[in-house]
Structure 1
């Protein structure tokens, strides 16, 4: 009876620098334990020093397996390509640089909020609301301005579902959703570019 293995490529895989890319690193393999261990140890390639990301197609996987196990039956499902990324050691963040960036973002956000409030005449609206309720004029209706300022900060915390490293629930924040969408579009671009380069290579041949 012929052995059969089922292979499902991962959408994205990460490896350490200066290490060969093994099949088990970029795919889930199901089948006889002895066979899957041997297949999983197959080397698919190595990272070049000038590239951190590249696309690995399922045809490369099948060709590699067939070259070493010609009688093995293979069945693939899931993604037809996987994005392989090398994880290099990150440099430590400078505390001085972090403080400078934090200050720039803080001041920029503060100016953006103040300019927005000036555009919509928020102060005049508070003064008018205070006059409508109390019948008195006040250029500093703190009874409205203070709760509004506190509510503005709390609203932003609840909106982003984050305070420092703590999350209030398991729902993704709008920033996390935007980052996810950006990563999806970036991955799609890498795949399209790789396919275009591969097509051009075939046309030249």
Structure 2
């Protein structure tokens, strides 16, 4: 029983340079075996320039490699069946010009979307009717309704996205963060399914 080693592969790791991937980098290990310390330092994969920026390390290949080194241990896999390694060889500074252009483009697009939506639902007429119901007077510009409504619209967007620059209002993820997480999950699953798995020559023996 003491010779069983439980391995749970990490879903994804990021490295900033070409390096040797050890077992501790890509997996969690649980065992009471005496040589558990050397397991963490076991070399698994060497990242080279031909790997580009994505490497898929399959758990079956890892266990097969470990079995050739540690004959007296029994390895059992728990959890994910592969680890996605993202290699970032170049660190680029964000361009202020590009960021400003994207910000202006998004600002104009969002403003046009909000104005077109209010025009489609006749929001101005709604405000005029509300003003008439409360005051009994007709006016084309009920500013006492429109101005608080505009501020409330902006405050509602901040609460919806749960962010003010880097500050979060609470620990609950925003809908945008959930969508980004789901998108990243789909990308990881697609990459893990279609990316070429490790060949025998890529493993240290």
TM-score over 0.5 for the alignment?
Answer: yes
Partner of 2:115: 114
Matches of 1:158 and 1:97, distance apart in 2: 27
- Which residue is equivalent to 1:7? 7
Displaced runs of 4 or more, over 6 A: none
1:99 corresponding residue in structure 2: 100
In the alignment, structure 2 segments of 5+ residues that lack a partner are 199-205
How is 1:35-184 mapped onto 2 (pairs within 5 angstroms)? Answer: 35-50=35-50, 51-184=52-185
Note if contact 1:52-1:85 (Cα within 8 Å) is conserved in structure 2.
yes
Secondary structure of the structure 2 residue equivalent to 1:137: coil
CA contact (8 A) 2:57 2:84 kept: yes
Q: Distance in 2 between matches of 1:33 and 1:169?
A: 43
Q: 1:150 and 1:26 mapped to 2: Cα distance?
A: 48
* 5+ long unaligned stretches in structure 1: 199-205
RCO comparison, higher one (Cα < 8 Å, 6+):
2
Report the alpha carbon displacement of residue 164 of structure 1 after superposing the two structures with TM.
0.6
Q: Contact 2:56–2:195 at 8 Å: present in 1 too? A: yes
Change (3 A) 1:174 1:113: same
Shift in Å, 1:89 = 4.0
Q: For the residues of structure 2 that align with 1:105 and 1:34, how far apart are their CA atoms?
A: 58
Task: Please tell me whether the aligned partners of residues 2 and 73 of structure 1 are also in contact (alpha carbons under 8 angstroms).
Answer: no
**Equivalence for 1:203:** none
Q: How many residues align?
A: 197
Distance 1:86 1:130 in 2: 60
Give RMSD over aligned pairs. 2.0
Q: Which residue of 2 aligns with 1:23?
A: 23
